[in-house]
Amino acid sequence: MTVSTPVSRAGSSGYEPPPLNVSVRSDDPSAFVIEVQGELDLFTGPMLHQHLESYNDPSGSNGHPRRVIYLLPDLTFMDARGLHYLLTAFDGHGSETITIREPSSTVCRLLGLVGLDSMVEERENR
């Protein structure tokens, strides 16, 4: 008989990171649309990286996108380390191939502070 025990993300400190939800879709083979919800920081960033790892292999069945589009209306917190994970989740991608759509006010504020607000896609007819 095998018994499964859930693995706690809490380390020896007892801190458990807040939930992070990530979904990926590809409406166009040249672009991945990634929706990130929750909080992205030092603790949850590795979860984003791990989730996107299978999409990151240029020789994999998913291919390697030329563009990465992040949907972030429900990203309630992101610090500088979270931004680092967001920008480095896909090898070979940088601010020229990453677009951010519908960022939360928290994300807008951080992008403005670090001079990356040009990554935000402006929506027409607002």
Domain spans in the chain, listed from the N-terminal domain onward: 20-119
pTM of the full structure = 0.75
User: Mind listing the pLDDT tens digit for each residue in 51-100?
Assistant: 888 776 655 455 566 788 999 999 999 999 999 998 887 766 555 678 89
Q: Which CATH superfamily is domain 20-119 in?
A: STAS domain (3.30.750.24)
Which token pair is 121? 């896609």
Kindly state the greatest CA–CA separation across the chain.
60
C-beta contacts of 27-31 below 8 A and 24+ residues apart: 29/63, 29/65, 30/65, 30/66, 30/67, 31/65, 31/66, 31/67, 31/68, 31/69
- Are the CB atoms for 67 and 99 separated by under 8 Å? yes
